[in-house]
Homo-oligomer: A and B are copies of this chain.
Amino acid sequence: MASIKDVAAEAGVSVATVSRVLNDHPSVSSDARTRVLRAVAALGYRPNAVARSLRTDQTRTLGLVISDVLNPYFTELARSVEEEARALGYSVIIGNADERPDLQDHHVRTLLDRRIDGLLVSPTDGGSPLMLDAARAGTPMVFVDRWIPGVEVPVVRADGQSAVRDLVAHLYGLGLRRLAIIAGPAATTTGSERVRAFRTALAEYGLSLPDAYTGQGDFQAESGRRVTEGFLDLPEPPEVVFAADNLMALGALDAIRARGLRVPDDIALAAFDDIPWFVHTDPPITAVAQPTGELGRAAVRALVDRIEGRPPQSVTLPARLVVRRSCGESPTATTPTTTTPTTTTAAATTASTATNRSMP
Contacts and interface: CB of A to CB of B under 8 A. Distances in A.
Interface residues of A, number: 60
Interface string A220-255: 010000000000000000000000000000100110
A152 interface: no
Given A46-B113, A254-B351, A258-B351, 20 more contacts: A44-B133, A48-B113, A50-B50, A50-B54, A50-B59, A50-B115, A54-B54, A69-B75, A69-B78, A70-B76, A70-B79, A75-B75, A86-B106, A253-B280, A254-B280, A254-B352, A261-B346, A277-B280, A277-B281, A341-B341
A281 to B, nearest CB: 5
A315 interface: no
Contact of A46 (B112, B221, B277, B352): B112
A319 to B, nearest CB: 20
Q: How many copies of this chain sit in the oligomeric assembly?
A: 2
9 contacts: A69-B75, A69-B78, A93-B93, A257-B349, A261-B346, A262-B346, A277-B281, A280-B280, A341-B341
Interface of A: 1, 44, 46-51, 53-54, 59, 69-70, 72, 75-76, 78-79, 82, 86, 91, 93-94, 96, 106, 109-110, 112-115, 133, 137, 221, 250, 253-254, 257-262, 276-277, 279-283, 341-343, 345-347, 349-352
Closest 3 CB pairs of A and B: A282-B282, A260-B346, A49-B113
A53 B72 CA distance: 34
A44 B109 CA distance: 12
